[in-house]
Structure 1
């Protein structure tokens, strides 16, 4: 049996809502992408009141294209409670009524973001912020242990952001939307690599539903699960997570403290 001191730790970490607060950028990109679907959305910036509500409701979003649909619901003056309760169903209804697919909306988001970066990358970068202390802990851990980013954002956008902070992370350690794979599948693949078979795996995520999907897969029973309690979590999420023995709720001060 390995001595505790010799066991390797491997970290798989979500990006948005764990390392980076991108809500302002996401809301603005959603507005610009949505302008291709609804021409009455005028100008490059959403109304300030829309963006304020978008920030508050950001926890309902699981993947990028849904930002456009959230902005649509805000534009339609739907109340917060209904959005939080019925978000998935409302998204499906918008897609059906507009006669497009989620892939169509995702392409519009990608194009709007690419156009913004090409036009003014400094402005785009400036719409993001990294959580105080969290980025330092991530950078320090990545110097000594295998660290992977698992995200629903496109890999090239994550790379642009971490390069702006001079973080050294191999390209092969970023798994984004481009893979077309779930985080559960990626964790399965990583944990089965020969180099990591004896390792202790840690997965840090800000969406409780994602952690619960991982917990429900028997092949991932060995993965240690953490809910990032800063970012895009809600009080209800944190309360639920604390009632699940397998999930540890981390605050920014305890992030990666293992």
Structure 2
């Protein structure tokens, strides 16, 4: 009888990390652009954090949180605006057009991806070093996921754009689960479509039923475009960082199954 292999996204599938990533992004933004935060009070910071929860579905890689924090600041404080797109910009507009907005603001702010990734990781490392329990407490596992991971009989792999060391800490500390290092593909492992190809190509995985659970519709659509990945069963987690519009769209795509959290946990068990 064939076994099961599950490739799981981390943020938005296993872990609700939006609280931690938003606070880390705010901390990092203050380091990156200290002058912009002169005079910014706690009320505005709290508003930024609230809006970051709304905007979380557009984030593919963590460093984008820093860009969103600064963009929100520009939206609220016209005097610091540098971006040509921030004037009159609404939260809804950011949700709808982030893929177009991101390269514009990166260029106009003279920012580069690698530097922002390094800073975001450094801020998180410092938070962990100085207040491990506080950092862990800013994250939460989705209900039932910890038990499902512990008692699963399937082959489990983590495929995430999160830096690997952070996913590992949260799995151990929050879920009480240790997943071998070679089963965690984090930031720097390459695009998820390439990781899935590697997994299906391993000799020991031949004959297994392949499942990929993701909360970003765009990622699943990129998998569908790759004919070599036709053997994967694809699932959009409806509890993760996606919008109602995306969930409705997924129901019109035959390859994608919209998955409930309770059904996900049962599948892993």
2:32 matched residue in structure 1: 37
Confirm whether residue 168 of structure 1 aligns to residue 166 of structure 2: no
1:145-160 → structure 2 map (5 Å cutoff): 145-160=154-169
Pairwise CA RMSD of aligned residues?
1.7
Q: Gaps (5+ residues) in structure 1?
A: 1-5
Aligned counterparts of 2:147 and 2:253: Cα–Cα separation in 1: 29
Aligned counterparts of 1:93 and 1:119: Cα–Cα separation in 2: 35
Aligned counterparts of 1:117 and 1:223: Cα–Cα separation in 2: 36
Tell me whether 125-134 or 45-54 shows the greater mean CA deviation: 45-54
Deviation at 1:55?
0.4
1:95-110 → structure 2 map (5 Å cutoff): 95-110=106-121
Query: Is the 1:147–1:173 contact (alpha carbons within 8 Å) kept by the matching residues of 2?
Result: yes
Structure 1 length-normalised TM: 0.92
Aligned counterparts of 1:89 and 1:73: Cα–Cα separation in 2: 14
Confirm whether residue 26 of structure 1 aligns to residue 35 of structure 2: no
Q: Gaps (5+ residues) in structure 2?
A: 76-88
Deviation at 1:109?
0.5
Aligned counterparts of 1:195 and 1:14: Cα–Cα separation in 2: 22
1:1-258 → structure 2 map (5 Å cutoff): 6-39=1-34, 40-41=36-37, 47-77=45-75, 78-141=89-152, 144-164=153-173, 165-179=175-189, 181-258=190-267
Deviation at 1:138?
2.6
Aligned counterparts of 1:173 and 1:106: Cα–Cα separation in 2: 22
Secondary structure of the structure 2 residue equivalent to 1:132: coil
Residue by residue, what CA displacement relative to the aligned partner does 1:197-222 show, whole Å, maximum 9, x if unpaired?
A: 11110000000000010011000000
Residue by residue, what CA displacement relative to the aligned partner does 1:75-110 show, whole Å, maximum 9, x if unpaired?
A: 122411220122122221222122221111111111
Deviation at 1:256?
4.9
Structure 2 length-normalised TM: 0.89
**After the TM superposition, which segments of 4 or more aligned residues of structure 1 sit over 6 Å from their partners?**
none
Deviation at 1:70?
1.1
